[in-house]
Amino acid sequence: MDAKPDLIAGLQQLPMLQRWLRWAVLAASLAFSAASAYYFSIQVRQEAHSRFETVAVASPMTCNRGSAPTGTCCTRCVGCSTPRTR
């Protein structure tokens, strides 16, 4: 039981004895933070691209209201390429 507190106390004193260790831990922490932020931004971009691609592919097949196939809409939707039918 006495060895465990000695180990913890030794690890707590390590940065005081080795000054370079503080800078190494700080550099590693900053690198990890930057890598995490970069990975998160890549994931967000991929999700946005995937959602945009899904909308872009689906939009020519239906009118803006989404209720009728292109060419069968009875009213002209705003921004819809479906011609008005009477």
Encode pLDDT of 40-50 as tens digits: 999 999 888 88
pTM beyond 0.85: the answer is: no
- Structural domain that includes position 75: 32-86
Three-class DSSP labels, 31-43: HHHHHHHHHHHHH
8 belongs to a structural domain: no
Residue 60 has pLDDT above 60, yes or no: no
Q: Report phi then psi at 79, rounded to 5.
A: 75, 5
Amino acid identity of residue 80, one-letter, is C
CA distance 38 to 46: 12
Q: Is the Cα torsion angle 68, 73, 77, 83 positive or negative in sign?
A: positive
User: What's the pLDDT score for residue 25?
Assistant: 92
What does the pLDDT look like over 28-41, one tens digit per residue? Answer: 999 999 999 999 99
46 falls within a domain: yes
More confident residue, 65 or 8: 8
Cβ atoms within 10 A of the Cβ of 10, count? Answer: 10
pLDDT for 68-84, tens place per residue?
A: 555 555 555 555 555 55
Looking at the structure of the chain, the number of domains it has is 1
